[in-house]
Structure 1
Amino acid sequence: MSAATIAPILPVTRYPLLRCLAIYRSMPLLSGATVLLFVLVNAALVCQQWLLGQAVHDVTAGRAVLRLADGTLDHAPALRWLLLLGGVALARALMLYAVALASQQCNQRLLTQLRARIFSHIQQLQLAYHWRQGMGELVNRTTRDADKVRDAMITFWRQGVDTLLVLVAVLGLLCWYHPALGLVPLLLCMAALALLLRQAGHLVRLDRATGAAYDRVSQDIAEGVTGVRVIKSFVLEQQRSTRFAGEVALFARQARAALAYASSRVPLPQAVVAMGHVWIMLYGALLVERGQLNLGQLTAALLLATMLVFRLEGVGRAMQAWSDARASAGRIWELLDTPLALAGGAGQLPPGPLGCRLARVALAAPGGGKLILDDCSFTIAPGETVALVGATGAGKSMLAHLLPRLLQPDGGSVHLGSDAMGWHDAAGLDLPALRRRVHVLPQESFLFSDTVAANLRMAAPEASDAELRRALQLASAGEIVAGLEHGMQTRLGERGTTLSGGQRQRLCLARALLAAPDLLVLDDATSALDAVTERRILGALRGEGGARTMLLVASKLSTVLHADRVLLLEGGRIAAAGTHAQLLASQPAYRELLGIAGEGGHE
């Protein structure tokens, strides 16, 4: 079942584990069958204990083995008891096997659905959220935290549902023997559970600290792997290893503190329940003396009391697992409750050349605070190639991400279209359809650990080999593939690390071209290319027929020279617009950005 079909979850944020339990509503037949099997198992348990008491009573009364008139012994009654008890034990064993399979199936389905929901939600969150969060933390919520919730659900069935049914069955049989035999153990069990619940809050706080320490360990691992070239370049191996050892040591201390607290608190509730064992022995002996209870029933009652003691020991361990999982579930729902903010509409852009228009757009830095863009307005006509320049940190990349609605403006509006087709507010457009028409190619090229062909076809799954070669030719990447051992079937390393930066940029550009966007934004996506290769690529793109609109976020003069117009972003808004020659003559800040000295524009 997909994440989208999961039943609505409880809105109460204070009870994250209950919200996880609510996912069982999406599998009513399986979870219902599991509960029924638990009921049957515990009914068989009560039956087994009652029969054992009756058998012991027959043995003590001399009815299990009878002496016949001829002096021989009749073992038939004892044999019947053995067969009956053995049959009940076998039936219970088979049901225990079935209930274990059913509960494991429930837990695995819950884990699958929860992970699918987390992954789907992460994919739909705004880029600003990903910029604020560490990769290690997001991975942990999908793996470690989800696994802890699954482990808690295992104890939910084994120590939650099963223990509750055992308590009902055991205390019910004790009360049937005599009300006082069941009442005192019931009160003692309630007191022990109250003690365990009182300890749970502190266990949650300890596990939150442990989880935060684990996040830092994971983040260090992720950075150590992805940043290995930087670490080696600056000879930081020892420094990073020392830092990592410190993070691991902190995690170990937090984990030991949580384990020590749980281990030191469980014996007290267990001792409280064990007092019920003493009560049954003393009061039961008195009832036997009065003739209100037989010896077999007292034996069964003592066995039942022993079962309660061991059950509560399991509940103590389950409390620790639930406390751990409560912290993990809280972290999961903290992520899942993060609003997507980018809710698409139902609008569709008409076919045809596409331009864009920003009207008084304001955009704050990720996390809020200072405005990066403020009262930013401009228009790009369909088929036009425009360069956007500005100082580092001026907000060029954030502006580029507004066009396909990878970011949402805090004020103003973004429109797409043309004078002929009309201008359509991007906020009211269908997101998938919009992003097929508008594509941003970032400076940081990303290739998946797959073949070249598979990476290219992510933009166009049905593309033929001829179309792949055409896109590679436009991106001047044909010689890259030709130089690979297996051509387009060559598997690339993780993030494409087997290629150079310029090669990755050209393959990513070929992938973007396969999507055939009407508006293509190159966010410094040719920064790793030499001037000759860049000129060849941009010249080929402009020579395709003029239907494609391009916005070139540029930091190099060689890129700017390919634009029809140039926009100068300064102070959060477009400070100047015009051709390269016009800005060169009138804008000192423009000349300074491009490293061109003198009023006449001489280099």
Structure 2
Amino acid sequence: MTQATIATAHHAAPSGTSPSPSVRSPLARSPLARYPLLRSLALYRKIPVLFTATFALFAVINLSLSLQQWLVGRALDAVNSGKAATRLPDGSIDFSVALHWAALLVALATARGVLQYISGMCSIRASQSLLSTLREKILVQVQSLQLGYHWQHGMGEMITRTTRDADKLRDALVAFWRQTVETALVVGAAMGLLFWYDRVLGLVPFLLTVIGFLIFVRQTDTLVVLDRNVSDAYDQVNQDLSEGIGGVRVIKSFRLEQSRIRKFQGHVGFFLDQSRHALAWCSSRIPIPQAVVALGHVWIMAYGAHLVVAGRLGIGELVSALLIATTLVFRVETIGRVMRIFADARASAARIWDLLDERPSIVGGDVVLPDGTLGFRLNAVRLLSPGGETAVLDDCSLTVEPGQIVALVGATGSGKSSLASLLPRLADASGGAVAIGSDANGWHDVRRLDLAALRRRVHVVPQDIFLFSDTLAANLRAAAPDADDAALEEALSLAGAGELLARLPEGLETRIGDRGVTLSGGQRQRLCLARALLGRPDILVLDDATSALDAVTERAVLTGIRNLRAAHGGRMTVLLVTSKLSSVLQAERALLLAGGRIRASGKHEDLLLDPLYRDLLGIDRAAA
């Protein structure tokens, strides 16, 4: 069974219905879903105290900037009027007024500096808190989504969501405080001070600032498109890099190094082209609003001089107004950077929320299986291939009684792995029913069972072996976190890996490398078998899980499984998905899967009459 087929199964509809499209969360259908960046900023509600304190600090700091500029104007007026320093009758000079203004300005600047440090730390802490929350949500979502989603979107895309997109969103969260809140407060206070000096004096800079802001807004959509193009190109780089690392053995075996390097260089080159195009556009467009707002200097200088001559504005107030105009220009430049950051983050936030809004298509029920030996039944099960055009399994029915060891034989692509994945609900059937239980305790549809409890009692050892880049003990304890060293050693012995443990330099604490790269294929298979046996499942499915073992080792492993069953009263039901005669001979019954259904069932000797069965096991008629 191909991965794509299993992916289709994951999106399958309930029994008796046709597959339905992916289900989105209620928030994904709400008006807020149109603004993914606002949804991200709305996470600040989870830290209300820190948010309120940070906002208050930014308000005090940035509103006090206008107070500082106003005080500079008053101080200059005092100097211009000769009040800052006066000559006393004895000929000495009194600097008390000047010192008063200097002390006031220094005190205000010092207080603003201290508060800026505190607010900066608070904003970073708040932003990092939100980023941690978001990354935790991504990890939880990635773990909960069905396997089909992962195969459909690829590892490179997942990595991009949790790294580049999350980092861009972090930049926006930081910019929200440092640029958005700060800029809004500074611009608002600066315009208020200009209007306080003279309404007409403040009107033109206000209009120019609004025009500059509108230009930025019009540029945002283009910035988002450019960032999406860059991100898509980055996805390809990540995907190619992941494949290059994960498939290094295949690449070396077929001498594909140069072709893979050329392909990777092509993806990197395309990514650089998209990045250069985005940077070039930004460099040529972003300065335009800044130039528009900078015209406010000309107006303030010209009209302010007129007000000074008319006696309606002091020299210090004119200097203060020019300082305010300079502040507006720098803030508009900041708005340009913020708009770009937010445009990038908006695209990244959309991709992140697309992932977070995806609802798992496989959701457990609330029924818990009773204690006791378990078997399984398939009743007229139907499973569609990708696109829903053909049925991989069609009217497939079988019953495996509790405690049996059954071998499932079928041609490549006949649906053996898909059938096995139905038992722990790694996939869902498109039609029919899959049940777990026994005649004594009743049979239960897997759709109604608690998912975690089901998977603790039904374990599939797949064809694709996976080991974590951790110690041997940590890999084994994935199935039983509380198992002691004696239990680990027993599981290794049952899986025929006792001699492997003896050869490892640090025993159970030996690190086995990425995906068990330091071990052979057969050793990795035995460790995966040991991990499954350690969990003491009631139903164990070995999906070609002994394909890399020689006949002697395989016999020892299957004997170990029989011994484990005997020690637990024959409770374990075993399904061997295999094409090896040596495995079939260890089973009590054999099943032949062909044409999407069970074509034959019985003892090995009885099935030898079927030519397809003999061909699949490589048995000629004379030998049979």
- TM category, shorter: over 0.9
Q: 1:325 to 1:251 in 2, by over 3 A?
A: same
Give the Å deviation of 1:480.
Answer: 0.5
Distance 1:211 1:252 in 2: 11
DSSP 3-state at the match of 1:256: helix
Which runs of no fewer than 5 residues in structure 1 stay unpaired?
A: 1-6
What is aligned with 1:55?
Answer: 75
Which residue of structure 1 lines up, in the alignment, with residue 306 of structure 2? 286
Shift of 1:369: 4.8
Higher deviation after alignment, 202-211 or 535-544: 535-544
* Deviant stretches of 4+, over 6 Å: 7-10
Matched with 2:620 is 597
Query: Out of 233, 237, 254, which is 1:217 matched to?
Result: 237
- The partner residue of 1:159 within 174, 179, 185 is 179
**What residue number does 2:589 align with?**
565
Q: Please name the residue that 2:394 is paired with.
A: 374
Please state whether the residue corresponding to 2:358 is helix, strand or coil: coil
Name the residue aligned to 1:20: 40
Contact 2:27 2:33 in 1 (8 A): no
2:607 maps to amino acid: L
1:99-178 → structure 2 map (5 Å cutoff) = 99-178=119-198
Superimposed CA distance per residue, residues 396-422 of structure 1 (whole angstroms, 9 cap, x where no aligned partner): 112111111111222222111011100
Q: Is the 8 A contact 2:28 2:357 kept in 1?
A: no
**2:606 alignment counterpart:** 582
Query: Which residue number in structure 1 is paired with residue 409 of structure 2?
Result: 389
1:12-411 alignment runs, 5 A limit: 12-365=32-385, 369-411=389-431
Secondary structure in structure 2 of the residue aligned to 1:134: helix
For 1:260 and 1:572, the matched residues in 2 are separated by 57
Q: Could you say what secondary structure the match of 2:432 adopts?
A: strand
Name the CA shift for 1:147/1:369 in 2 (closer, same or farther; >3 Å). farther
CA, structure 1 residues 369+176, in 2 after alignment: closer, same or farther (shift >3 Å)? farther
C-alpha deviation, 1:244, in angstroms: 1.0
Contact 1:132–1:367 (8 Å) recurs in 2? no
Alignment of 1:405-420 (within 5 A): 405-420=425-440
CA contact (8 A) 2:421 2:427 kept: yes
Unaligned runs of 5+ in 2: 1-25
Cα distance in structure 1, aligned partners of 2:495 and 2:446: 29
Cα distance in 1 for residues equivalent to 2:384 and 2:152: 13
Q: Is the 8 A contact 1:56 1:296 kept in 2?
A: yes
Structure 2 length-normalised TM: 0.93
1:442 corresponds to 2:465: no
State the partner residue of 1:4. Answer: none
**Cα distance in 2 for residues equivalent to 1:84 and 1:273:** 31
Find out whether 1:463 has 2:463 as its counterpart.
no
The AA in structure 1 aligned to 2:442 is: G
Paired with 2:509 and 2:236, the residues of 1 have a C-alpha distance of 38
Range with bigger deviation, 572-581 or 75-84:
572-581
- Does residue 453 of the first structure (1) align with residue 473 of the second (2)? yes
Instruction: Provide Cα deviations, 1:210-243, integer angstroms capped at 9, x if missing partner.
Output: 1111111111111111111111111111111111
Among 500, 508, 513, the alignment partner of 2:528 is 508
Q: Is the 8 A contact 1:129 1:366 kept in 2?
A: no
Q: Do the aligned residues in 2 keep the contact of 1:128 with 1:367 (CA within 8 Å)?
A: no
Aligned partners of 2:592 and 2:600 also within 8 Å: yes
Any idea what SS the aligned residue of 2:90 has?
coil
Alpha-carbon displacement from aligned partner over 1:548-572 (angstroms, at most 9, x marks no partner): 0011111211111112222222222
Question: Displacement, 1:540?
Answer: 2.2
Asked if 1:551 is matched to 2:575, the reply is: yes
CA offsets per residue over residues 514-538 of structure 1, 9 Å max, x none?
1110000111100100011111111
- Residue 521 (structure 1) aligns with: 541
Distance in 2, matches of 1:269 and 1:79, equals 41
Instruction: Select the residue among 494, 508, 516 that pairs with 1:496.
Output: 516
How big is the shift at 1:9? 8.6
Q: Is the 8 A contact 2:86 2:94 kept in 1?
A: yes
Q: Is the Cα contact below 8 Å between 1:207 and 1:258 reproduced in 2?
A: yes
Q: Is the 8 A contact 1:132 1:366 kept in 2?
A: no
Contact 2:376/2:434 (<8 A) preserved: yes
| 1:8 Cα deviation from its structure 2 partner | 7.7
Q: One-letter code of the match for 1:575?
A: R
Cα deviation, residue 582, structure 1: 1.8
Greater mean deviation of Cα atoms: 515-524 or 321-330? 321-330
Amino acid at match of 2:394: D
CA contact (8 A) 1:9 1:22 kept: no
Pair 1:501–1:375, CA change in 2 (3 A)? same
Change in 2 beyond 3 A, CA 1:10/1:88: farther
Distance change in 2, residues 1:334/1:365 (3 Å): farther
Indicate the SS of the match to 1:13. Answer: helix
TM-score (norm 1): 0.96
Contact residue 494 and residue 557 of structure 2 kept, 8 A? yes
Query: How far apart are residue 44 of structure 1 and its match?
Result: 1.5
Please say if residues 360 and 376 of structure 1, whose CA atoms lie closer than 8 Å, have aligned partners that are also in contact: yes
Q: Which amino acid aligns with 2:619?
A: I
What is the distance in 2 between the residues matched to 1:39 and 1:364? 60
Distance 1:86 1:505 in 2: 72
Aligned equivalents of 1:10 and 1:386: distance in 2?
47
- Change beyond 3 A, Cα 1:55–1:190: same
Over residues 270-306 of structure 1, what are the superposed CA-to-partner deviations in whole Å (9 max), with x where a residue is unaligned?
1111122222222212222222211111111110011
Could you give the per-residue CA deviations for residues 437-456 of structure 1, whole angstroms, max 9, x where no partner exists?
11011122111111111111
Instruction: Provide the identity percentage.
Output: 58
Distance (whole Å) between structure 1 residues aligned to residue 399 and residue 320 of structure 2: 86
* Matched residue, 1:532: 552
User: Per-residue deviation at 1:368?
Assistant: 5.0
Q: Is the 8 A contact 1:402 1:408 kept in 2?
A: yes
| CA–CA separation in structure 2 for the residues paired with 1:435 and 1:305 | 66
Residue identity opposite 1:502 in structure 2: G
CA RMSD of aligned residues (A): 1.6
With CA pairs under 8 Å and 6+ residues apart, which has the higher RCO, 1 or 2?
A: 2
Aligned residues: 594
Structure 1 residue identity aligned to 2:304: G
The more displaced of 95-104 and 274-283 is: 274-283
Distance 1:394 1:133 in 2: 25
SS at structure 2 position matched to 1:143? helix
Specify the code of the residue in structure 1 equivalent to 2:35. Y
2:34 match: secondary structure: coil
